[in-house]
């Protein structure tokens, strides 16, 4: 669904540029080889992985995870009970409420950032922006930690958008996002018309011999990345079945909803089943500076059912125990309702939902005051969240990335994990 309520910031005016910037990411990735089908199936059932649902623009915490009915800031919607006794969320999420025993809520976030780009950076890296340096984004960081070195699969797939090669930062192009634009598989997964598999094999062998001769005395990162592109392409073509979404049953499409977001959630489910380590699904646009309530009624009506079906399906198939699911955005919305019946940017007191691998389902941590204007208990920021994500996936956030002989923290060392929601 399109939204005309955005703040007209650069982040919303440059979506075409954003998507275009990721168009070459597929050709930049590098994979180390192939695994047998049986090994891939075992990987799919046991390997840790992560799915992020990114509610672009900043969904309102008051219309989702931290409702304040019957207050001066609460708006017209009520809170409803969930599958966890005593835990209530907005009535706009009735299907998600039935899955709350699989999810935990973090209601005390204060990133103190109301800019789209800066807020998104904090939530996707766990750090504030540093001039002249890019921390790896969550998708690239987790792909680098979770992807088996011999897997031919992309480590990080953005189902409903693009992404940028810069998200991988110093981790390299192997861990940049592969974008499935409009939910469509990457282009050119098959051989060109008229080129037989045998001719292609001979062509690749010739290229490999010439490249081997060239790199003698010229070995460098750029040369290796260039050569690895061809290995990746051959490996990915051999596993192009992961992008065949045509066999998803009609009954599933009915359950998830016959709209783009429902289709994208089904695609994410298949990718997780096939062993992809990190999947991002975007739902846009929640930047509701006007008509906040009408828009959330429509947009969350589209989000609720397929998201709940996704969580339930992963649980039923035994995959949720190995899959961290995060629902987040760049910030929340102001408790104060403005003169356009909208809510503005608000990074001072807001919420996210997280569940699955390593998370204590049904837990709630953090508290805001009666009308949601400030955090009054267990305040956390992006650093705390990233410590928690890493711990939930069995990874050590205190073990730094190294680049050019320098350590770079995976999560802010001044913070720590939110232990109350860790299983």
Mean pLDDT, residues 305-313 taken together: 98
- Taking Cα atoms as reference points, which of 343, 338, 347, 372 lies closest to residue 68? 372
pLDDT at residue number 191: 76
Positive or negative CA dihedral for 287, 24, 33, 270?
positive
pLDDT-derived band at 18, boundaries 50, 70, 90: very low
Beta-sheet pairing, 103-109 with 350-356? antiparallel
Instruction: Report which secondary-structure segment, H or E, holds 214.
Output: helix 197-215
Greater confidence (220 vs 128) lies with 128
* 46, containing H or E segment: helix 37-46
What band does 229 get if pLDDT is binned at 50, 70 and 90? low
pLDDT digits (tens, 9 = 90+) for 105-139: 999 999 999 999 999 999 999 999 999 899 999 99
Query: Which pLDDT score, from 0 to 100, does residue 209 have?
Result: 82
286 pLDDT above the threshold of 50 = yes
Distance CA 146, CA 49 (A): 7
Interatomic CA distance for residues 372 and 95, integer angstroms? 24
Those residues with Cβ within 8 angstroms of residue 314's Cβ, 6 or more apart along the chain or in another chain: 269, 272, 320, 323, 325, 356
The full set of domain ranges for the chain reads 10-421
Range of weakest confidence among 3-7, 204-208, 299-303, 404-408? 3-7
The token pair at 254 is 């009915």
Sheet holding 156-158, edge to edge: 178-179, 156-158, 278-284, 49-56, 323-328, 350-356, 103-109, 364-365
Residue environment code for 167-197, b if the CB has 16+ CB neighbours within 10 A, otherwise e: bbbebbbbbbbbbbbebeebeeeeeeeeeee
In CATH, what is the architecture of 10-421?
A: 3-Layer(aba) Sandwich (3.40)
Mean residue pLDDT across the chain: 88
Check if the beta carbon of residue 91 is closer than 8 Å to that of residue 79: yes
Higher-pLDDT residue of 333 and 209 is 333
What are residue 65's DSSP bridge partners? none
Whole-number Å distance between alpha carbons of 145 and 126: 16
- Per-range mean pLDDT, top range of 229-238, 349-358, 401-410: 349-358
d(CA 278, CA 271): 9
Query: Is residue 106 a contact partner of residue 123, using CB atoms and an 8 Å limit?
Result: no
Question: What pLDDT score was predicted for residue 414?
Answer: 97
User: What mean pLDDT comes out for the span 358-377?
Assistant: 98
- Residue 333 in contact with residue 60, Cβ under 8 Å? yes
Q: How confident is the model at residue 36 (pLDDT cuts 50, 70, 90)?
A: very low
Cα of 335 vs its chain's centroid, Å: 26
Contact 332, 350 (CB under 8 A): yes
Report yes or no: 320 and 355 within 8 Å, Cβ to Cβ.
yes
Secondary structure of 134-202 in HEC code, one letter for each residue: CCCCHHHHHHHHHCCCCCCCCCEEECCCCCCHHHHHHHCHHHCCEECHHHCCCCCCCCCCCCCHHHHHH
Q: Has residue 51 got a pLDDT over 90?
A: yes
Tokens of 380: 């956390």
Task: Provide the pLDDT for residue 43.
Answer: 47
Predicted local confidence at residue 161, as pLDDT: 73
- Output the pLDDT for position 26: 36
The predicted-structure confidence for 193-216, as pLDDT tens digits, reads as follows 888 888 878 887 887 788 777 777
In the predicted structure, residue 181 carries a pLDDT above the cut 90: no
Mean pLDDT value of segment 215-227? 62
Backbone φ, ψ for residue 401 (5° rounding): -70, 150
């Amino acid at each position: 669904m399109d939204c005309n309520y955005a703040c007209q910031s650069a982040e919303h005016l440059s979506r075409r540029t954003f998507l275009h910037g990721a168009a070459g990411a597929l050709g930049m990735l590098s994979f180390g080889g192939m695994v047998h089908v049986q090994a891939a199936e075992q990987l799919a059932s046991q390997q840790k992985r992560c799915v992020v649902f990114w509610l672009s623009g900043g969904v309102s915490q008051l219309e989702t995870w931290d409702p304040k009915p019957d207050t001066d800031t609460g708006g017209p919607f009520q809170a409803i009970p969930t599958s966890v006794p005593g835990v209530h969320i907005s009535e706009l999420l009735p299907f998600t409420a039935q899955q709350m025993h699989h999810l935990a809520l973090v209601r005390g976030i204060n990133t103190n950032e109301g800019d789209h780009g800066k807020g998104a950076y904090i939530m996707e890296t766990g750090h504030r922006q540093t001039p002249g340096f890019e921390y790896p984004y969550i998708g690239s960081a987790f792909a680098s930690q979770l992807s088996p070195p011999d897997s031919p699969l992309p480590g990080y797939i953005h189902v409903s958008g693009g992404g940028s090669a810069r998200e991988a930062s110093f981790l390299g192009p192997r861990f940049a996002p592969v974008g499935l634009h409009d939910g469509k598989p990457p282009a050119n997964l098959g051989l060109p018309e008229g080129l037989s598999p045998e001719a292609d094999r001979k062509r690749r062998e010739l290229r490999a011999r010439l490249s081997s001769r060239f790199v003698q005395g010229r070995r460098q990162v750029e040369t290796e990345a260039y050569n690895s592109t061809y290995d990746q392409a051959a490996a990915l073509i051999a596993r192009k079945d992961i992008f065949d979404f045509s066999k998803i049953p009609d009954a599933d499409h009915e359950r998830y909803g016959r709209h783009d977001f429902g289709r994208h959630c089904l695609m994410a489910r298949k990718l997780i089943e096939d062993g992809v380590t990190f999947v991002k699904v975007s739902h846009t646009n929640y930047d509701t500076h006007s008509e906040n309530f009408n828009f959330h009624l429509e947009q969350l009506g589209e989000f609720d059912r397929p998201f709940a079906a996704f969580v339930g399906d992963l649980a039923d198939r035994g995959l949720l125990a190995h899959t961290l699911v995060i629902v987040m955005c760049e910030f929340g919305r102001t408790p104060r309702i403005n003169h356009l019946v909208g809510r503005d940017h608000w990074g001072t007191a807001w919420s996210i939902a997280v569940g699955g691998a390593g998370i204590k389902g049904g837990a709630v941590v953090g508290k805001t005051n009666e009308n949601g204007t400030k955090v009054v208990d267990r305040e956390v920021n992006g650093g705390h969240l990233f410590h928690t994500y890493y711990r939930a996936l069995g990874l050590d956030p205190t073990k730094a990335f190294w680049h050019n002989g320098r350590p770079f923290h995976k999560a802010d060392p001044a913070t720590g994990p939110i232990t109350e929601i860790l299983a």
